[in-house]
Structures are given as structure tokens and as C-alpha cells.
Structure 1
Amino acid sequence: MTKTPKGRALGNALRQARQEQNLTLREFATQLGRDPGVLSRWETGDRTPKPEQVAQILTSLGVNGDRYEEIVDLAYGADDSNWVATTLPAQRQQLAAFIDFEQNATKILEVSPLLIPGLLQTNDYVRAAMTAARVPASELASRVAVRIGRREVITCDRPTPFTALIGEAAIRQLLGGRKVMIEQLRYLLEMARRPNVDLRIFRFDSSWHPALAGQFHLIETTDSTIVHLENLKSALFLHEDSDVRTYRLAAEKVLDVSMNQAESAKLIRYIVKNMEKDSEC
């Protein structure tokens, strides 16, 4: 059975709960009276426990309340081809799974027609976007910190290769105002000089391409490739080969209509220069 994103997320949640109690896999298997090999496959997502088995594990580990309900909920439909998150708890679970995929990625590609990709956003850009989206003030600081922390995957000592295909609209939109955008665009130029970052812009005057249908991620790990899509009210993981193939072809088509790296940097510098002139007026 193919490992699913939701099954992997369930396994990660079970492993984290066990590790918080400082129990080894073998110790906990003995406590539960189960084969440690079975528990290991549940924690890696190679096999999916039934909801009642998840409940037994969490009860034994002293997990309760909202966290208990959210982890048990992961067991329902964990083997399904698609993982759709429409509620806030499900979206939090998916975000945790998405970050796990990013941290373990061997290659990341993002097509982003309207916004600067998350891995390339400055602190002020993140804050401006989340404030405009009316993220509750009580959650703002933690959510900004999570977004900023994600950058490490492309800035660490052994960074992940990252291809960012960005729409011209994203680099012209005055999100947060001119000062924020000038800083953001300068940061794009800085990041584009990194050998692991391939940053390309697709212009307004390009022909039809799949990015016109919306943003998407392709994340490759050593054992799987997933597609992540999101909109205002929901998010979706795809992992079936046919779906991944469709989005690989879509990414290739967007790449075909995008400018090369040098041309992209030149356009960004041109926009920065014009924004700076407007700021002086």
C-alpha cells in the first residue's frame, strides 16, 4: 500500500506523542502488548491503524482534549487518495504535514501567480499579508514565526533545491505598501543568487499556461512526491502518480513561458527602481 500524506501525518502525530513521554518504541509496544514492528509501521505511515487503535494509543499516552480528537480524526480516511482539509483543525494538521514534507524534501517547486512564495517572503511581507487576511491578533506572532522558520530548508548548510515560478502580478502588487514591497523584491534578488534557488518570473503578456488556474506546490522526498493546493477555505494533498504527473507537466508548461533567471532578475530590479522613484515623489 502506498504511503499517503494523511497516513504519514497520523504516524508523525503518534510518534511525537510517544516521544513526549520519553518512551522507546519497544517500551511502548510492551506497555500496549503489541508487536513493535506493527507500531513502527503505524508511526512511519506505511500502515494505518484503525480509529479505535489510535484511541487506545492516545489514552495510554495520556493525550486528551482537542489534541486527542484531532489525532483520532486523522485515522478516518487516512488511506484515501486525496486529503481535503476544510476545517481549522484539519488545516492545522495539514500545515504540520506540509512542513514535514518541506523539511524532508529533496526538491521543491512552487508555482505562485499572485503572491510571493512562502519560502521567499520577508517578515514584513508575511505580517502584512496575514494582517490583511484578518488573522486573529492572538495567532499572528506564532503564525508569522512558523512561516519565517520554514525558510531554513532553503537557507541551511545543506539547502533543498527550490524552483520558484512567480507571476508578474505578485511582484507588482503593493502588498503592505511600497516600502514593504521594495524590501521584499530586494530580498528576492538576494535569494535568487543562491545556487539552490531557481527564481523565474512569468509575465502578463505570456500565452495561456496552467498557473492561470492557481497556485500549487510539488514536493519531492526520497520516497514520494506530493502536490499541495490551497484556496481561501480549504487545502488539498494529492499523491497518486497520475495526479503528480499532471502537475509535473503543468509546471513544465509554466517554466516554458517564464523568463530565464537573468531576465527575471532584470525585471525585478526595474520594478524596484520604479517603486523607489514613486516613493520619492
Structure 2
Amino acid sequence: MLCRMARTTPKAVALGAELRAARDRSGLTLRELAKRLGVDHSALSRAESGDRPPAPEMVAAILAKLGVTGGEFDRIVGMSGDSDDSVWVAVSIPDLQSQLSALLSFEQLATTITDVSPLLIPGLLQTGGYTRAIMRAGNVPRQEVELRVATRLGRRDVLVRPDAARFTAFIGVAALRGGIGGRAVMAEQLEYLLKAAEWPNISLHAIPESAGWHPALEGGFMVLDTEAMSVVHVENRRSGLFYQDDADIAAYQEAVAQVRGVALDRGETIRVIAREVGEIEEAS
């Protein structure tokens, strides 16, 4: 059996992305691979999109046809064993890399994205200098920094393409006042936020320090809505987490509503950012 009768999940999307990447590296088209496997190409397409996750034995057959062996073979087959789980916790580097692939896929598919980021500028709005400063301070290996910066900047495409997602960001004032990278880097970053705030699909809201308790103080998170499903993504220094169950989505949607209730409106937020830019310029 090629695919199980299971609903789309974040891990199923990541598994599909892994299979698609392996096929691309092999140089085979979808139809060519389907012919070699003796399956319908449309079913294989649904497997690669994450709509219908393949059973482990089919994943093994696909990888064998694509010439994938060793640890990579074991890792991808292992992903298929619980690809229909609605909660996906990643702690190992391979799992975190798979989660990043899934996150990129969901960002591409999303119609709306809500990012609650109390301490840092949201990833989809970061400039190269700001991202680079974070990675260098976080001891990312020197040889990996520029690749990671390029990956993050590439993610911004979802906000500027013709069918761009509707993006709402709730940013803590502490993030706007942070000295990450020094004055020049922060000035460039804040000016980029002012530019992004002019785009019709982007809504920025600063969370004032006087707001008291609100759910963003528990940590940042993203809610991504696609036509097929909604997911929540949470990450920290050592792990990543995807939620999909209705109860979990509802809890985070309620958290967004609470944060929205204490956040500044778009006009006030722009004034706050512009004031921070002015203060940096005065101090320079």
C-alpha cells in the first residue's frame, strides 16, 4: 500500500519534503519514479505533498529506488513510523532539520501567519545583519552562518509574492530596543520594519512593557493557517514543537487574542519604531 488513510500532519509534510528532495537529487521525475515503483504518479504526488503519508515499507521502497542508503535511509524511514501524530517534538539535529523543512513548507502554503515574538524580531522580518549578529553571538559554526542567513532571508519571499500570506506580528518593545549587532544593525532592522509596515498584507503591533501579564511572556510562537489545516510552531534553543490538535490550536488562538488586546495598534506601533530609529540616530 502506497499511502495510509491518515490526515495531513506537520511530520507528514516534512516526510513528503524529504522524499521530494531525494527524488530531485536523483534526477528522476515524479512519473519516472512512479513507473519504477509500479504505482500511480498521483498517489506519489500526494505522498510528497504530505496529503497522504506513505507507509514505512513504501518509504523504504521509494528510497531504495532513489539510491538513498545508510543513516539517511534509516532517518527518513523512521519519520514515517509516526507521521500521523498530531504533536511533533524534535530534539535531535536531524529532527530539527526536518522540522525546518516542514516550517518552510507551511510558510509557503499559508494564507495567514501570526507571529508572537516578545524578545526578538520575527524571523520573517529579520534583516541579514540582524540574523547574522544573532547567529554569531549564538556560536553558530562560522562556515554555516552565511548559509543560514541566506535561508532565513529566502523565507521572506512568502510576504512579497503576488499571493503573499497575510502576516501579523506582535513584537515586544524589548525586541525593538535590543542592541543586537550594534546601533547600525538595529537601525537597519528597524527601518526595514517601517518599510514592511507599509505593505498591505503586513500588520505590526508592538507589545508595550506596561501591558502586565500576557501569554507572550511565556515565549514566542507562530500560528500558520493553510487551506487544509492550521498548525502552531514553537521553538527554543534545543528543541522544536508542532501542534495540530484542535484543542491546542484553540488555546494558541486564544493566546493571540489576549496579546492583541494589550498590543498597540498599527499607527502607534509605527510611531514607536520610528522613535527608536530616531534615538539611535541621535546617539550615533
Q: TM-score, normalised by structure 2?
A: 0.93
Partner of 1:16: 21
| Residue identity matched to 2:83 | A
For the residues of structure 2 that align with 1:15 and 1:124, how far apart are their CA atoms?
32
Aligned residues: 279
Partner of 1:180: 185
The question of 1:47 aligning with 2:52 is answered yes
| CA deviations over 1:75-107 (Å, ceiling 9, x no partner) | 132111211110111111110110111011111
The 5-angstrom pairing of residues 238-257 of structure 1 reads 238-257=243-262
For the residues of structure 1 that align with 2:195 and 2:48, how far apart are their CA atoms?
39
- Give the match's secondary structure for 2:54: coil
Q: Between 61-70 and 141-150, report the one with greater CA deviation.
A: 61-70
Structure 2: runs of 5+ lacking an equivalent: 1-5
For the residues of structure 1 that align with 2:49 and 2:262, how far apart are their CA atoms?
39
| Residue identity matched to 1:97 | A
For the residues of structure 2 that align with 1:174 and 1:69, how far apart are their CA atoms?
43
The 5-angstrom pairing of residues 253-272 of structure 1 reads 253-272=258-277
Partner of 2:236: 231
For the residues of structure 2 that align with 1:162 and 1:94, how far apart are their CA atoms?
21
Partner of 2:219: 214
For the residues of structure 1 that align with 2:254 and 2:77, how far apart are their CA atoms?
36
Partner of 1:67: 72
The question of 1:5 aligning with 2:28 is answered no
The 5-angstrom pairing of residues 76-115 of structure 1 reads 76-115=81-120
C-alpha displacement of 1:278: 1.9
- Give the match's secondary structure for 1:150: helix
| Residue identity matched to 1:217 | M
- Give the match's secondary structure for 1:201: strand
| Aligned with residue 62 of structure 2, among 50, 57, 61 | 57
The question of 1:120 aligning with 2:120 is answered no
Do the aligned partners of 2:10 and 2:88 also contact (CA within 8 Å) in 1? yes
Root-mean-square deviation (Å) = 1.6
| Aligned with residue 194 of structure 1, among 184, 188, 199 | 199
Partner of 2:141: 136
For the residues of structure 1 that align with 2:268 and 2:81, how far apart are their CA atoms?
48
Partner of 2:3: none
Do the aligned partners of 2:13 and 2:105 also contact (CA within 8 Å) in 1? no
Q: Measured at CA, do residues 157 and 48 of structure 1 come closer, stay the same or move farther in structure 2, by a change above 3 Å? A: closer
| Residue identity matched to 2:228 | D
| Residue identity matched to 2:236 | N
Q: Measured at CA, do residues 179 and 65 of structure 1 come closer, stay the same or move farther in structure 2, by a change above 3 Å? A: same
For the residues of structure 2 that align with 1:170 and 1:148, how far apart are their CA atoms?
19
| Aligned with residue 154 of structure 1, among 139, 156, 159 | 159
Do the aligned partners of 2:91 and 2:239 also contact (CA within 8 Å) in 1? yes
- Give the match's secondary structure for 1:46: coil
Structure 1: runs of 5+ lacking an equivalent: none
For the residues of structure 1 that align with 2:41 and 2:188, how far apart are their CA atoms?
52
| CA deviations over 1:133-178 (Å, ceiling 9, x no partner) | 1110111111000001111111223322110100011001101111
For the residues of structure 1 that align with 2:33 and 2:193, how far apart are their CA atoms?
47
For the residues of structure 2 that align with 1:86 and 1:276, how far apart are their CA atoms?
41
For the residues of structure 2 that align with 1:269 and 1:111, how far apart are their CA atoms?
21
